[in-house]
Chains A and B, each alone.
Chain A
């Protein structure tokens, strides 16, 4: 090794004075501790900066927070009649999150069970690399494919203009599927073999074992997988933005255009004057995104606390 050639002779290395050794230890220890502290600082900084900026619409511009969250009228450029109701975007965000989780959860957990219980060899050799590659595809590429393939497809075959809540849901489903599958697979694989053998020895079929024994045992981890998938769907901005249509009205059906908090922030924050009331309301949306992603983490922590096996 290259290192050995520059190190001093064995004598010198071994007979380091006690003081030297202690210094080395103290230095190393402080170095890594500082790095750990940086992570705390970063988290707190993100929270404080965004909270302080995000609250300005309420403290400086005197927007009523209740009206801000519940009104459906978003008209920031209306001058005298400007109104700032972001309910349609909150609704859009929640709708795409839950609907895509609803499709991705059974598919992802199914794939996980396939890999761990039905065809472990095939799963490891083929399906796992497939999923890892799906994780690697950048989100803008998903958005682009959604834009050029999915939107025209929906426009030709279903009511509406193609850009829709449904298009957003489909794109997000594909994006969160690998996340759900990977975590669910880890959960299923970490179940002890004695559970399987015990159940099979009692004469249960494989499906009975999976449904009555393995899924309940892995449930907290499987829920974690779904929640992390939802967190990803909730925070995704660009891919959804490209296919959802970005209108300010509440969608009447899944074929209607819609918007989410992330897409509105992405589209508008560059076009508004920094410090203006409209700009501030966008920062408030950013704060809401931050708060909700914290909520997802607390749910995950709660679930992992309930993990028994």
Chain B
């Protein structure tokens, strides 16, 4: 009898814990969206931020966040996919592979502020670039690569053995098999992973504080020449991202409408992450269906 009662109590406790988690998420989302969504107006999204007056928007920060994200993914995806292919197909069990694995784990678990410090040391001071978009993107690359490697490795390992062996048995080289059999099959998994990683990059701030900087020069959105000083596309200019903006307005507290700006920016950030999440699942399943059923 006694053990049955403890069992009931324990089950009750687990239900409470699960309820706490759900309640926590509901509260957080309710808080962020109910406070933030009323702030999101067209004007808020399209006007420049102000450093001391009320009524500033987040146009440049939003653009910078997206732009750094794109640059980071352009660097990370090829590197990470190739690294993942190596780990899944070419790495032989042994000391070297073990060492690479340790390196990946270390890169993945570096505190983002440490990555930021490394970026400050190398991409800002040693190269003499100062605070730049490319410096920020390279810093983000450091913790994004391990994620991409892991995702790719898992996706390639999930390809049915028979499919790979059939290709190899036809006398096709390993590399050709990877290109024509393994990568297409693993594509939905890799894409999903890349989009989820994008969500992380989009919300990252600590690594960007001292690599991409806390300011944005006056930008001319009509100027699409990437080499010109005030072009938004110039990768050698400082760029404050949305997440960094939330931190800096709260920490410096110079503008009178900190709450409003931070609320609105937080909501935009969380909505973006949500969209990335939903997009990743949806695209993943759609492509998977196409690849498996369509052909």
Do the two chains belong together in a single complex? yes
Contacting pair A111 B18 (CB below 8 A): yes
Given A36-B83, A138-B204, A145-B31, decide whether A42 and B145 contact each other with a Cβ distance below 8 A: yes
Q: How far is the CB of B255 from chain A (nearest CB, A)?
A: 15
Residue of A nearest to B262 (CB): A144
- A296 and B90 alpha carbons, distance in the complex (Å): 28
Q: How far is the CB of A147 from chain B (nearest CB, A)?
A: 6
Q: Of residues A34, A177, A237, A297, which shows the largest number of chain B Cβ atoms within 10 Å of its Cβ?
A: A237
Q: Which of A122-150 contact B (CB under 8 A)?
A: 122-123, 126-127, 130-134, 136-141, 143-145, 147-149
Contacts of B176 in A (CB 8 A): 21, 24-25
Contacting pair B117 A139 (CB below 8 A): no
- CB of B239 closer than 8 Å to a CB of A: no
**For chains A and B in complex, what number of residue pairs have CB atoms within 8 angstroms?**
257
Given A25-B175, A118-B15, A137-B28, decide whether A269 and B117 contact each other with a Cβ distance below 8 A: yes
- A211 and B3 alpha carbons, distance in the complex (Å): 12
Contacts of B78 in A (CB 8 A): 35
Q: Of residues A43, A123, A293, which shows the largest number of chain B Cβ atoms within 10 Å of its Cβ?
A: A43
- A211 and B26 alpha carbons, distance in the complex (Å): 30
Contacts of B20 in A (CB 8 A): 107
Contacting pair B203 A141 (CB below 8 A): yes
Given A174-B24, A205-B3, A297-B109, decide whether A136 and B274 contact each other with a Cβ distance below 8 A: yes
Q: Chain B interface: which of A45-53, A161-169, A189-197?
A: A45-53
Contacting pair B7 A208 (CB below 8 A): yes
Contacting pair A32 B85 (CB below 8 A): yes
Residue of A nearest to B276 (CB): A136
- CB of B127 closer than 8 Å to a CB of A: no
Q: Which of A39-79 contact B (CB under 8 A)?
A: 39-40, 42-43, 45-46, 49-50, 53
- CB of A85 closer than 8 Å to a CB of B: no
- CB of A262 closer than 8 Å to a CB of B: yes
Q: What band does the interface of chain A fall in when counting residues whose beta carbon is under 8 Å from B?
A: 35 or more
- A294 and B176 alpha carbons, distance in the complex (Å): 38
- CB of A210 closer than 8 Å to a CB of B: yes
Given A27-B175, A205-B4, A206-B7, decide whether A237 and B113 contact each other with a Cβ distance below 8 A: yes
- CB of B209 closer than 8 Å to a CB of A: yes
- CB of A181 closer than 8 Å to a CB of B: yes
Contacts of B66 in A (CB 8 A): none
- CB of A250 closer than 8 Å to a CB of B: no
Residue of A nearest to B295 (CB): A1
- A148 and B212 alpha carbons, distance in the complex (Å): 27
Q: Chain A interface: which of B158-166, B227-235, B246-254?
A: B246-254
Contacts of A266 in B (CB 8 A): 113, 206, 209
- A40 and B262 alpha carbons, distance in the complex (Å): 39
Given A138-B243, A231-B109, decide whether A265 and B117 contact each other with a Cβ distance below 8 A: yes
Contacting pair B103 A139 (CB below 8 A): no
Contacting pair A283 B100 (CB below 8 A): no
Q: Of residues A39, A181, A266, A296, which shows the largest number of chain B Cβ atoms within 10 Å of its Cβ?
A: A39
Residue of B nearest to A236 (CB): B111
A95-128 Cβ-contact flags toward B at 8 Å (1 or 0):
0000000000011001101110011001100110
* Besides A38-B83, A43-B106, A235-B114, 5 other A-B contacts (C-beta < 8 A): A42-B142, A49-B122, A130-B21, A141-B32, A293-B110
| 7 A–B contacts from the bound complex (CB under 8 Å) | A46-B107, A118-B14, A205-B3, A206-B10, A269-B210, A296-B109, A301-B102
